[in-house]
Amino acid sequence: MSDTNEPILKFGIPKGSLQDATIALLEKAGWKIRQYHRNYFPDVNDKELKISMCRAQEMSRYVSDGTLDLGLTGKDWIQENESDVHVVSDLIYSKVSNRTASWVLAVAGDSPYQRPEDLAGKKISTELVGCTKRYFENAGIPVEVEYSWGATEAKVVEGLCDGIVEVTETGTTIKAHGLRIIAELMQTNTRMIANKEAMADPWKKKKIDQINMLLTGALDAESLVGLKMNVPGDKMDDIMDELPSANSPTIAHLHNSDWLSVEIVVAQSIVRDLIPKLHAKGAQAIIEFTLNKVI
């Protein structure tokens, strides 16, 4: 359907738990992706892109062998596949908490196991067989590692295995199953990865940079807000003392007045402490607003 003379960047989006969050983030960044039933290449409003929906587990294979130029997947599955790809950036977002997740070793809460070495000779169930094997090999602990098709936590409870290696953001699900975490194998987060030959192609490199800048800008904006307030000229120094130093404020004189208009982008997480302080120091008409992108 696309003219063969037009360059195209083949971009893989992860299916499954991260899919909706990824599509929403790309829309904020400026690319609208529409999936039609039984249309495997979702529409995107950019004729320079061809989108594929792939399992996160398989993504790095396809980026590595050039089936895709660019992909979003977890650091964990890149390592599991031992894929040779260029890491463009780390993007910390998730279905739940926008935190990094961890693969952890967990055992029954009432089991005697306290450290990984206590599992020598035991059976470990996991979806991440390769990394798990390498972890125990490096530690010199002989274990049997078995591929698990899912519901891995339940296997310890049912006595189908002795320990599991499973991914978690908050530990809640693992604790809710009555399990106890005894080691962390690896932290993971979403990564933008590119095929190495694609990175050597100037057109593709530039397109990847564009996507990365906008996607990063949209992701950053999710944890930031804009604050705007009016400040009497003589209180400006006091106010400046309270503002985080990272982002310098935009300050303008108000018309026919000694007051200044102060506008600044700050982390959403500090606002509830910052506003009372600014108010106490004399800032007035403080408004907070949402940002789509911050570059």
Per CB under 8 A, contacts with a second copy among 37-96 are: 37-38, 40-41, 45-46, 52-55, 57-58, 61-62, 67
Q: Which of residues 238-277 bind a second copy (CB under 8 A)?
A: 247-248, 250-257, 260-261, 263, 265, 268-269, 271-273, 275-276
183, β-bridge pairs: 105
Angstrom distance (rounded) from CA 150 to CA 36:
28
CB of 139: closest distance to a second copy in angstroms? Answer: 26
CB of 22: closest distance to a second copy in angstroms? Answer: 16
Write the interaction track for a second copy spanning residues 99-138; mark x where CB under 8 A is met and - where it is not.
----------------------------------------
Write the interaction track for a second copy spanning residues 139-178; mark x where CB under 8 A is met and - where it is not.
-------x-xxxx--x--xxxx-----------x---xx-
Q: Which of residues 198-227 bind a second copy (CB under 8 A)?
A: 209-210, 213-214, 217, 221, 225-226
* Pick 189 or 212: Cβ nearer a second copy: 212
CB of 70: closest distance to a second copy in angstroms? Answer: 15
Angstrom distance (rounded) from CA 281 to CA 153:
52
Angstrom distance (rounded) from CA 49 to CA 34:
13
Give the tokens for residue 256: 């026919």
* Pick 58 or 139: Cβ nearer a second copy: 58
103, β-bridge pairs: 167, 186
* Pick 117 or 241: Cβ nearer a second copy: 241
How many amino acids of this chain bind a second copy (CB under 8 A)? 76
The answer to whether the beta carbons of residues 163 and 115 sit under 8 Å apart is no
The answer to whether the beta carbons of residues 230 and 254 sit under 8 Å apart is yes
CB of 140: closest distance to a second copy in angstroms? Answer: 26
* Pick 140 or 202: Cβ nearer a second copy: 202
Q: Which of 9, 23, 25, 29 binds a second copy (CB under 8 A)?
A: 29
* Pick 118 or 288: Cβ nearer a second copy: 288
Task: Looking at 223-251, list the stretches that DSSP marks H as alpha helix, in order from N- to C-terminal side.
Answer: 236-242
Report which of 232, 231, 217, 233 is spatially closest to residue 265, judged by C-alpha positions: 217
**CB atoms < 10 A from the CB of 9, how many?**
22
137, β-bridge pairs: none
Angstrom distance (rounded) from CA 156 to CA 119:
13
Angstrom distance (rounded) from CA 6 to CA 219:
30
